[in-house]
Amino acid sequence: MKKAFITGITGQDGYYLTKLLIEKDYEVHGTIRRSSTFNTSRIDGLISQYSSDKLLNLYYSDLLDSSSLSSLIQKIQPDEVYNLAAQSHVAVSFKNPYYSTSTSTAGVISLLEVVKNIEKDVKFYQASSSEMYGGVSTDSLNEESLLEPKSPYAAGKVFAYNMTKIYRESYKKFCVNGILFNHESPLRGETFVTRKISRAVGRIHNNIQSKLTLGNLEAFRDWGFAGDYVEGMWLMMQHDKPDDWVLATGETHSVKEFCKLAFDVVGLDWENYVLTDEKYQRPNEVNHLLGDPSKAKKELGWEPKTSFKKLVENMVESDCKLAEREKVLIDNNLLKPSWENPTTT
């Protein structure tokens, strides 16, 4: 039975990757952060299903805690390490640049050093990002395109991307970069634009929110479904030689288009509900991202299976159900209705 070690297991991709690997007969080991509130909600179902059989095993750690990462990998002796952990919100990285970049940079060095020094051949996956391209041109972006980071988040990711290549080339280690374009799901964090929209649609449809305030409606993203993208991560780790691959859909849509489609799902006109506010604009915006996944298609046989329309429908339908449950709490005076969902940024 193969063993995988995952940082960031409690995140969106952590959930989908863990599920996929367990289905493929892996034993999964993941790191969680100590938090004053529970932070395992995405993987609670997997924990109750698989932890008693030791198919899923969790440990406290942090990207900044080199010693715990190193001793865990030495103890577990995994076959594959997936580095998914990050402060992954681009706008937040402008507000917390030191933390955002130091976690991305220190974390990757700690992990690559163990992979270099451990006796066993351990494969390493780095969660690189389309954000590294900077989104200046409208061209389709591939593995050869120029990296022009526009945020502290992206600068940290470029560092981690380069270190992954450096360890691959210098020490002949199996280290890969998955350069993933935006991928979403009903488990996407609520402060990312797609989920902020689908949550609002669910709540507005259930009469527990009245407006949705966003920033730049003209930004374009190549949005796919996270469940499809974790398959691509795993395929990269099974390839006969390590390399870098772009995962994307090859289609791009604006935030405005996402809004229109999401409100259409419940028969509402988005223009009656969506407002904009400067506070959601970024100091430096990535205007346009469009990926070219042809290398992944040719070499890994990977293709996204979920259309943009289906992705939006799945997210809105899931958030309508969530809002129905919130409505019950509101009707019983256990929660207050709000003009907006107060948890979003």
Q: How many angstroms from the chain centroid is the CA of residue 164?
A: 19
Contact stretch for ligand G4F (CB under 6 A) within 87-95, 110-118, 162-170, 265-273: 87-95
257 included as an active-site residue: no
* 22-41 positions binding ligand G4F, by CB under 6 A: none
Residues 6+ apart with CB under 8 A from 12: 42, 185, 187, 188, 189, 226
Min dist. Cβ of residue 16 to ligand NAP (A):
8
Of 13, 27, 80, 131, the residue at the interface with ligand G4F (CB under 6 A) is 131
Q: Report which of 152, 5, 7 is spatially closest to residue 91, judged by C-alpha positions.
A: 152
The least distance separating ligand NAP from the CB of residue 105, rounded to whole angstroms, comes to 11
Which of 83, 100, 130, 314 binds ligand G4F (CB under 6 A)? It is: 130
- Cα–Cα distance, 108 to 163 (Å, whole number): 8
Which one, 189 or 250, has the nearer CB to ligand NAP? 189
The site for ligand NAP (CB under 6 A) is made up of 7-8, 10-14, 33, 35, 39, 62-64, 84-88, 103, 127, 129, 180, 182-183, 189
By beta-carbon proximity to ligand NAP, the closer residue of 153 and 206 is: 153
Alpha-carbon span 232 to 42, nearest angstrom: 21
Query: Contacts with ligand G4F in 265-324 (CB under 6 A)?
Result: 280, 282, 285-286, 289
Q: At residue 330, what is the residue type?
A: I
Q: Catalytic: 340?
A: no
State yes or no: is 317 an active-site residue.
no
Q: Which does 186 bind (CB under 5 to 8 A by kind): ligand G4F, ligand NAP, none?
A: none
Which residue is at the shortest CB distance from ligand NAP?
11
Can you tell me which of 7, 83, 103, 182 binds ligand G4F, judged by CB under 6 A? 182
Applying CB under 6 A, the residues found at the interface with ligand G4F are: 88, 90-91, 129-131, 181-182, 191-194, 196, 214-216, 219, 221, 255, 280, 282, 285-286, 289
Show which residues are catalytic.
Answer: 129, 131, 153
